[in-house]
Amino acid sequence: MLLFIAVLFFFLAFIFSMLGLGGAMVYNPILVWFGYDFKSIVVPTGLLLNGLTAASAAWAYYRKGMVDFSVALPLVITSAIAAVAGAYVTQFISTAVLLGLFAVAVLFAGGRMILVSKASEPEAVRGTARRPATPRPARSGAASCSGRRGRSR
């Protein structure tokens, strides 16, 4: 069973690195379906896999000069701080609440992608216009939740 999961995650990591995702949005439900404990196995494993996938893809994009540090650096700093806080708070939240938060986040992200998939991106979002490099509370909140759910942002 573990070999099957490893092979499956190999292909998922390949796909998610092209999409700019760490993959825990799919890794976590798969691990839960195979009976692993959410708090002690799924979340830490999802975070580890997410981090490795994201870091290796980020390194490849960095080498190609595709990382805008004026945008990335504030996000990395606020996300790192909030993710540590979220991981700490996990011990005080029930598994049912964590699973509920995860489900809501996945539904919200999927719904938003479907709703805006046909719309063209404005220049401010697309990256051709200069964006302010200021951290926002929502980014910290998202990172905090990602620390609790095993997702990276």
The per-residue pLDDT for range 32-55, each reduced to its tens digit, is 999 999 998 998 898 888 888 888
User: Treating both helix axes as pointing N-terminal to C-terminal, what angle do 2-19 and 43-63 enclose, rounded to 10 degrees?
Assistant: 40
Q: Which two tokens stand for residue 23?
A: 């993959």
Q: What is the mean pLDDT of residues 71-91?
A: 90
pLDDT for the residue numbered 92: 93
Which element (helix H / strand E) includes 87? helix 69-89
Identify the pLDDT of residue 153. 45
What is the per-residue pLDDT for 78? 94
pLDDT in the model for residue 23 = 81
pLDDT at 147 over 60: no
Average pLDDT over residues 143-149: 54
pLDDT of 127 strictly over 50? yes
pLDDT for 145 equals 53
Could you give the angle at the alpha carbon of 75 between the alpha carbons of 140 and 53, nearest 5°? 105
